[in-house]
Structure 1
Amino acid sequence: MKTMIDTGANRTFISIKALHLSYKKQSINKVSSRVILADGYTSLSILGTVHLSINMGDMLTTIKAFIVKELCVDCILGMDFINKYKMIINTEERTVSIRDNHKRTTLQFDVNKHCINYPARLIKHIRIPPKRTVSVPVSVALSSAQVLFRPCFKLQQRSPILMLNSSLNIHRHTSFISLHNPTNEVRLLPKGILLGTTTIPTLSFKKDLDIDYSLAQKNICNLIQPITNSEQKDKVKSVLDKHLKLFDATKPTIVINVKPHAIKTLDYPPPSSKPYYSTPTKQDAMYTITQELLQFELIRSSYSPYAAPALLVAKHDGTWRMVVDYKKLNNITIKDNHPLPNMEQTIQVLGNGYQFFWKFDMKSSFWQIPIEEEDRHKTAFITPEGLYEWNVLVQGLKNSPPSFQRVMADILSPCQHLKHIHQVLSILSQHNFQLNPFKCSIFRQQIDYLSHTISEQGVKPNNEKIQAIIKLREPSTLAEANKFLGAISWYHYPDEAHPVILTTDASKVGVGGTLQQHINGEIKNLYYHSQMTSSSQRRYDPIELEALAIWMCFQHMRPYLLGRSIIIYADQCPLCNMMTLSIIHIKGRHNCLADYLSRHPIPREEAIFDEDYGIVQHNKREPTVRGCVPDAIPPLTGAIVTRSKTKQLQLERNQNSTTTPTYRNKTTLPPIDEEIDQMKEDSSQIIANNSLDIEQLKIEQGKDSTIHQNVAEVMKDPVNSSYEFNNGLLYKLIIMRQVYHGDPLSGHFGVQRTYLKIKHKYWWPNMKQSIIQYIQSCLPCQQYNISRTKKPGRLQPIPPPEGPFQLIGMDYCGPFKLTPRSNQYVLCLTDYFTRWVVAIAVPDCSAKTTAEALFNAFICKYGVPTVIRSDQGTHFHNQLMYAMSKLIGYDHTHSTTYHPQSNRMIEKLNATFVPQIAKLQDKENNNWDEFLSPVVFAYNTGTHSTTQYSPFQLLYGREPRLPTDGKLSSFTFR
């Protein structure tokens, strides 16, 4: 029961409704009298008296109360109760204490922050002419007060009459309200109809009176300006005028009647951090921002044990936005699994031929959701000026998005599919939400939503968003083509009016499928899928493989197929009778696209040689040549067929095949039945069919002028030649594994870098496996390599620069053991675009040494970079480096304090090249600087795992020439 202590009331009162609910068997003494209220002339009817027993803490009190029909609360305790129990009211501590029989009890009380509403009803019948505004009298159950009037939600839904939120002065239970009739017809309102509610002044009263209705009207006029039809414009304005409060974005608001955001955490100690270091300019900006937030009561001062560091992020317009790093708090927060809307499904729903679109954007939407009082201390953030905590939901919390989505889903659920904009606005206004008028769109025939342009014709990608796809270079490999098709298929969605067509095919290599629609005689491609089959799946019968292809395509295309009419094209007739779906047989020769995808799945690794030029392994031993290998591993020999020669031979075969009459007009692949029959051959037979024909290779080598020159060199000096001519074939002696791994210019790098360096020049059976075994048996690698495991979670990538040497990472590594050349540190620099590395051995890490090494070894060779990023060490963060950056013309930025991950590329480099140098240096560990340049060379010429190119290729646009490549025998000038 809500009870109010009123020092202005002489007696105690209780409403008849509260009496019946709390004291059902209480005897009532009926009395017919009236009492005068504080205004001196308004009277209140007394229905009777009753003796109340009220529990105040652990004390039972009694008082005689007057019964009235209606009160603003359930019960009013007047001066009779206050005097009887010697009540003391402490407004500072918000406590009341009462005394009875030498015993005093203290209770906590709450200041009323919520609205106390009274209905406002029409006093007489009203007739409102068309396009007119009239002032009508209303009755309110208050004698005299200043109140805020809010229109009735239900009346606004069923009537076009416009009423505005307004401030009313009530005198003797009566006030006046303005009503506007925007229609062309006369409107009647009956006597006693509920027009709205009035709110007596509370703590939130002043905020409601501060609404700028003129600005809201201006925002609405701007929104409806694009509407050309005047009748439509008037109708839309009549709807929006009922919700002026939504379009006033001058001050932030906090929603009401919703469940506040709760932060549920695990049982861990409260995480806390120190404030981040910032410049005086940023400190002033942060102070200004916090003062604004305090003024709007979005934050408050805090004494919480929690403390998350706050920092500033620059906006596009040059101003600052304050964000809070809640990583530690999020790590102990229990995840809220409320579903978030699927963007792709939302866009598909919109693309159904609708003609008009409305878009509403919330103003600082998170800041409109309150946080549970008991959880607000968990949001505490620290700045150089103090500790604060949030009263509202804030960006950066783990459960902010699902919590906001739950609120919107709860309050908008009564509005079926949002058919009526008026319902949406009414619900938002009822819960005190605020819109951002500058981002809203009203009554548009075309809007931009979630990177798409939506209109009556359907959904198409936003022109700005597809520029990146339009500017993509043409795919040059099958893997790139598959990735390109997979990327652009995200922008495709089916037309609900037409069935989707799934065309599938399978082979022993893989399965493939395409999803299409026939619309107005044109084929629209929706989705492509290609996938390799496993070793067990390759043993399936042809009909089982076709069924597997259909099943795999269904799994990947499920969102497109659910709830739609499906037609399946397959080249296996028996499948047509196995399922109730519409399955149509298509001949293999007509199933070109799916057939191609099934035979060209995304490969796991690219082959060095074409299938016609493999190595015949007639014996289990590798072929041997003269001489021995130091590491006791049999040398490998390979018949010389270069990539360029392979392509030339392939081109000649293609030209010859185009002149053959049998294949002149053939544009499709062989029939699927013939292909599958060929796949049934024994695996040994398949190897034999793809093996190298020695006699054919002899003929092809005989046609190559370069081979003739090499044979002549072997005949002249067979001892010093790196080739061998044996049985009419030219062979090259290869000792790759030691040269491409253990040599200083190879740097003892791992399997992938070693394999990729060899892969592009040589091939032998089980090449990668033999390289893995060799590196696993390398003693220095086993001594110095460190096992690294990636931490769980998502990365936070740094946006890449647009070109070479625009963003440079710089860091020191050391100190190492002093060398005879007096070097003890290494200054490392790496380009974020090409991954090119420069490392300079220096005697110390002073500011002078840093500036000299940077200028001489980097800037004078590669030019002035745009940005150099380093940590905040004194050798980088000093007046000399600052003056140098201003003089030469580059920006020197620093990584976040206590967070070296923000300069992760150079940090990773330091952890990489130190073990490589340790593998090469002598036992005294003092000649490491001799191997610094070779190791850096090995790094720069090796394939980088991120770019899939070597830094040398990206910088110079060509493959590096390595010592193992041999001398060029001739030059050609054009």
Structure 2
Amino acid sequence: MYYSELFQRKQISGESVEDYGNAILKLARRAHGGLSLDEHDRTDVQHFHSDCVDNVDFNDTIRINSIIPDNVQVIKIKGKVFMRDATLFIDTGAVVSLVNKNMVPDIELLNIKPNYKHIVSATGQPLNITGIIGCEISVNSEVSVHNMYVVDNLLYDAIIGTDIMKRIGIVIDMKDEAAYWNNMYVKFIGSSDQNSVASSALYGVNLIQTVDIPARSEMICFGRVNGDVNGMIGIIEPKSQLTSKYSVIPARVLTKVCDKDVVFKVLNPTTKTVKLFKDTNIGTFEEIDKVLDEEYDSDIVPTSNVVNSLCEGISEERMQDVQVDWDQLTKLEQGQLRELLNEFSDIFAKSDSDLGKTNLVSHSIDTQGHGAVKQRPYRVPFSQREEIRTQIQDMLDRDIIRPSHSCWASPVILVRKKDNTQRFCVDFRKLNTLTKKDVYPLPRIDDMVEAFRNSKYFSVMDVAQGYFQVPVDEKDKEKTAFVTAEGLYEFNCMPYGVCNGPSTFQRLMDLLLAGIQWKSALVYIDDLIVFSSSFDEHLCRLREVFGRLRNANLKLKKKKCAFMKSEVSFLGHIVSADGIKADPGKVEAVDKFPTPRNVRMVRAFLVITDHNPLRWLMTIKNPSGRLARWSLALQEYDLTIEYRAGKLHGNADGLSRRGETQTVVAGLTEISPAGLQLDVIKDLQIKDPNLRPIIDYLKDGNLPEQITNARKVMACSPDYELFDGILHHFWTPGPRKRKHVRKQLVVPHSLTNEVMHWCHDDPTAGHLAFHKTYHKIQERFYWVGMYKDIDYWCKSCVKCATRKTPKGRKPAPMLPIPVDGPFDRVGVDVLGPFPPSLQSNRYIVVFTDYLTKWTEAFAVRNADAVTTSKLFVEEIVCRHSAPRTLLSDRGQNFMSNLLKEICKLVNTKKIFTTAYHPQCDGLVEKFNGVLTHMLSMFVDDHHKNWDVYIPYVLFAYRSSIQESTQETPFYLMYGRDARLPIDVALSEPTVTYTDADDYKANVLTRLQEAFTLAKDNIQLAQQKQKAYSDKKSAEPDYEIGQKVWVYSPASKVGLSHKLLHPWSGPHRIISKTSPVNFKIESCDNKKHQQILHANRIKPFLDPDDPPDAPNVFHDETDIQDIENPDQEDETIEDNDIETNVVVEVLDKLWTRNDEGRLEPKYFVKFENNTKENSWVKPDVIPGQLIEEFEENYKGRGASYRKRKV
């Protein structure tokens, strides 16, 4: 605007030349607002062209006359141009000064003025002049601005001509190889002692980003230093031209460079917002000594302290515990928050003794005219008296209490906290009963959490020892008196434990936040939260709250404060930008509570608990420990506890005492390590009927009366011995183990479950597999049949069964799907989601015919039931006829009622695969892989055109031969081969038909032949696939009524998939729907039924029904002998003792007993060949022989056979 006025301004009639010149001057200054102070002086009325040091006749050609011979030294000095390191060439033959365009920042190029001169070099070559600019040149610490011509591709960074030399008085001393720049001594570049001259380097400071400085405000800005100055400490000298040009005032600060970045303040004293663009030069940075001398100008220190704190963080001593999500804030935001926290650092308590005292409210105690209550002090152990004395002295020093002459007195107790420290508490129960209750309301928590909607930034604060920052009315201080062995004291501040304390504090905080509560901040007693939807808004709200806290003389606890958080915990809720949810730690007990299975359990969960103990707690005379803590906690509430007998409700503290399903072991009352004491084991060994015979024989030499039992005792006795009356067993490990005899503690039958529990179920055992558990027990314990017991224990362990999948488990055999005619059986599936295409498609719906292998694929935006059903009707039924059977997985779109009704209308049977068994629809699944493979070959880099190529890849698939049919889908559909583009170009004309009947007969013949061959080939391929698959499969031998585990790998939100237990149950088989599919129901809910493939179930072993324990010293013949008294007793002879002793196990097989359970048998060899090798039960085989056999033949599947007996 000013430029146009300047060019259009004409002398008005009657206007003097002087007035006309002054008007032109004002317009010129406005048009060129970026002029320096010197330039303003040169536009003064009294300033004439002849007086200007830059006097140049713009009508003449300027020649740069300097031609430097080879033997003459070039005069070059170090300096800076626009705060960039530069080499300055002092040219006494140049009339004007030049600067290389590369040295001028882009933002300064906007200030270039047009050039009207023709400038040539000494050789007469014209120079490419861009224009004239006010250029900043600094040498040492001297900064000046000069008009210089901007030249493209200048040889030097800048050429200093005689115009600048005259202006600042440059003197050249060729003898010393130096120049005097404005009376400063500067050595030439390349001089012999250039490095001996100490001079401070100057570095430019430019803005990192564009900033808007509000009117009448001071802003923290970030700049970048142009140079290798990381870690340096120095002074930022502001650029004076910034003030004249933008009317802003940068601060002169002492700061430290952090990653080339510095922090400084800029003041905008104007009434308008000022924008400073990125890369704007703010000033210069000059390094100083890291340790400031005492002589240094002290007025710099206060400013430098502020900026240094912004650069390196708020003082560690004051703010190290404040929680801030720094990573989520930009550098500018970090600086603004640091400045705010530093500005209000006085509202944070520096220590426990640094407390404020508010003047907004005071606590009063209205005892309604009752007389004083005086109680005797509680008896305190001598070990606690010193602690009470210390805490009293601390409160005296902090002016929390004072000595008292009151007639009131309440006793003192110490309560141990979780960190093992002692909390000083006063028992105000009697005072509270006399106090008139304050009914000041507390805010509703559900209303408070609703106020956080649409907020993204949250800050939570906690008032440090809030009660102690509230004074007590002078007239009521005597009522807070407490008595100790040291004397009588009373509170100056509101004590903890008084009944109206929460109401008083809530009233204080409501007054504090009056006008902004529910809008920008909320408070619940001493929990304060500030919320907002933007950073700037949040900063303003924090400033408002901080200011009110300062005015109220309240201080915050640093460790419990968190600022600018995206997610915080407040009043039992997790509050974030995504919404509000319950704190997992608060609802864990309810979340883990078992699902009620009957009316009684539901009532037990809902009904209130028995409160009779709480009545006693309110009247206990001398509470201590946990009782004291609860007693004091209840004093702050106005409540009446009514007793309700426990027989009237069945909850009994529902969450903490909930019932759990446990395995009850007969004869074992408690699973505890205490049961494995030697004296207990000794008594139980004597009482165990299996161990009593061998103990009697080893102790007294007494044998059982029955010959068979006596033989067994004598045969086994070398492996046993008594130590201090406790039976032990000796065992020699097999091959590949340490060769030394192990002494094993013999475990009585009543303790075997406890041993297996601690060696398998306990966290120190880790629920490891059978072999590791067996080895761990075998190293320490022994009992007959332990191998079988441990094996069953590990297999029946509920946690192991729900977590582990059996190794070497053979899948069920393959059942090929029969095919009839084309489009008799059709499979359907959905692929996706894919990245949205240009047509917004995200899914592919695929249909496949099981005979011809003809496929249809359609790109759709969504794959819901409506879309799938419409494609089935329009693209399959209308084009290929209604199929007899439609097979799909169990997706919601396929199981919808809409698709079921459509299938009924067209007489199509809708069938589904079993859950988590995609092999059932293997044809479609295989084509899905082929389809995605082909699309991947043509899709673009951004995956936006995948749907365009679907028709093309479908044609490629349909015209390709299929391995199972040995034909192409195209031929099986149309009775002719597909004509490819290459066929049209190269092949000869095909046979033409003039009669439709001839063509029909020919096509029919070819299709019949093709269908026959296709069916035969499909059956042959299915037989091959089944033969290959069945090599590693086995017929499922599950029975109706058998309990099983079900594999359910679905992951849960918030839980790790790797830590889940994928097997659930138990379930019960209720029918067999096919050779490999079973219908099952939940044992807990019979209405929950499903059909599953055999590969998804495994047998359930009931931990409450273990196999019968063997009796090594008794057998069936013993019972027969007892029941038949007429049978003659056999005499014991020496040769009978050694008969039929097993010395080696040769083989093993599994058999099924009369009850249908699998049990092992072993093929054994007897000592001295007293009996032929035969199959026997493990009960008659020494345990170490079974263990050696299992260890030697571990992993050799051929040695283990399974038979059905």
Give the alignment's TM-score, normalised by structure 2.
Answer: 0.24
Greater Cα radius of gyration, structure 1 or 2: 2
Question: TM-score, normalised on structure 1?
Answer: 0.30
